[in-house]
Structure 1
């Protein structure tokens, strides 16, 4: 008994085993430093846009315009990497090296690659910088954020002055930006298993709409009769002369409605990111289209596309609320007041 008690006493007196200390993760950068970084980045973007706007009036040489375009592409690459939780230093250095090499060598292939890179990054960044919005005024604000980012990218595309086909450039930018947005949203939307039945229908419908639109446009351009093409070009010219700009059908019917609906849906569930991904159907081709016309024509085209797209988006949001939300105005107001799904702020990583 005494021996057993001594053993128990020894066991009780023994110190607990030491736990293996895990390596401490580096502390996050202070908020003030991050704020200053975004502030200086915004100022550089504004300065680059000012140079690009002056370059359109033939005040500055082409080298200055291309240099400003390289700065904007680099900053956009850094911002997209920060927003998506990537490596901003590597992304920025890669964009800067490619930009400097393209401008210094003035190779058509390098300049065309920079144009495609700028269009894709601008389209995806415009969508990724949006925040959830429970009310329609908030939805309009987020759509305007995406439009401003895409419009700035359009100025950078024009600043490179690359000899590329605008139609092919629009197709390439749309395809690459849609693929990139879907890959990023795959992580944000909890993968394919988090789609649900309605999300699967939305994803299939969006991909089908993009495919059918591009296929129909290409078939019309290649195999339509000269009379039909002449009538279509005459109609477009008449609309341009009457309204001052030609609206973008893909942005009106798919891009802006998808972005508006996705931003509204994200205030309630993260699967709204899958809908937002199709917002590149507005930010991608719109950036390319705005870069190929004058500022006045581009402004009118953007205005018509934006207004018509927001009208369609408002109808889609109301239809979704009618089918899946509470009935009655009072119930919808209460539901909108409680729909505040948290997401990181605009300058913080969303992944």
Structure 2
């Protein structure tokens, strides 16, 4: 593992702050040509910082990938083509989703798991502004599915290296990955599944609950965030404090980071509605994540009835502490 030079880390943080400032002023300011230029500059800076950070975190070559991000970003701005801007938005959203998961650290307590989910949300929120700043002209559903698919593939490939391959999963880990995959499909396609296979009364009841939530609460929680992304990140970071298999669970944390990364692209939703929907999903997801942690501890803790059988196996598979947040993972 390698630790970044303090000057390089300070420069990276300064770039992130500058990108966030340019995006806020460009997107929320008076607009016009100056606002557009600031938004473009913020998008390029964010993509550069995230490409650099992800490469450094995963043991790659940050200078090469960061420089490539700068060149491609400036080329997109210079050509100013809708297709290129849409492609840049996809790449930015995918980078955001994967980095938000990779930047987390193991959480030995419940309060630390809360902190790690907030870190992932913060990284995703900046990426969401950068994605919007590219002004992509896309089919919304196709854009969302593309980002989710690419982010999941990139996350799994990265975790495959961290988890030392599939043989490090174990039977419980394999069941978890399969369950996570099924939950991803269900949360992404739940609306289509309800329309095709749900009864009329069930669809009406769910529609009424959505309308009630919008009317009284201002938004309806995003199912993929509440039922998959936040629980996976909560449980996964907690498990990583004891077992390396927790990385395989964290891979499904893109269920929260990817939807946040592209949440502002939908013109039919206000920033307030997006923020409320994400916040409600985060709260529900934390409760589910805490329940999963309690069940996992009951099954594996030496003090538990089931855990006494598996205690030697769990203790022997304990990994060494992970590198810090600003260190390379391998």
| Alignment-derived partner of residue 43 in structure 1 | 14
Aligned CA-pair RMSD: 2.7
| Alignment-derived partner of residue 23 in structure 1 | none
Deviation at 1:262, TM superposition (A): 0.6
Verify: 1:55 aligned to 2:26, yes or no.
yes
Output the CA distance in 1 between the equivalents of 2:140 and 2:195. 14
| Alignment-derived partner of residue 6 in structure 1 | none
Deviations 1:6-31 (A, max 9, x none): xxxxxxxxxxxxxxxxxxxxxx98x6
Verify: 1:189 aligned to 2:163, yes or no.
yes
Q: Which moved more, 1:223-232 or 1:210-219?
A: 223-232
Give the secondary structure class of the aligned counterpart of 2:28: coil
The TM-score normalised by the length of structure 2 is: 0.86
| Mapped contact 1:130–1:142 kept (Cα < 8 A) | yes
Residue pairs, 1:123-202, within 5 angstroms: 123-202=97-176
Output the CA distance in 1 between the equivalents of 2:174 and 2:141. 30
| Alignment-derived partner of residue 346 in structure 1 | 325
| Alignment-derived partner of residue 53 in structure 2 | 79
Deviation at 1:59, TM superposition (A): 2.1
Output the CA distance in 1 between the equivalents of 2:71 and 2:294. 47
The TM-score normalised by the length of structure 1 is: 0.81
Q: Which stretches in structure 1 are left out of the alignment for 5+ residues?
A: 1-27, 332-338
Output the CA distance in 2 between the equivalents of 1:198 and 1:227. 37
Instruction: Specify the structure having the higher radius of gyration (Cα).
Output: 1
Deviation at 1:64, TM superposition (A): 1.7
Output the CA distance in 2 between the equivalents of 1:223 and 1:56. 41
| Mapped contact 1:151–1:290 kept (Cα < 8 A) | no
Verify: 1:112 aligned to 2:86, yes or no.
yes
| Alignment-derived partner of residue 209 in structure 1 | 183
Residues paired across the two proteins, number: 313
1:326 to 288, 302, 313: 302
Give the secondary structure class of the aligned counterpart of 1:37: helix
Output the CA distance in 2 between the equivalents of 1:234 and 1:108. 38
Output the CA distance in 2 between the equivalents of 1:183 and 1:164. 27
Q: Which stretches in structure 2 are left out of the alignment for 5+ residues?
A: 308-317
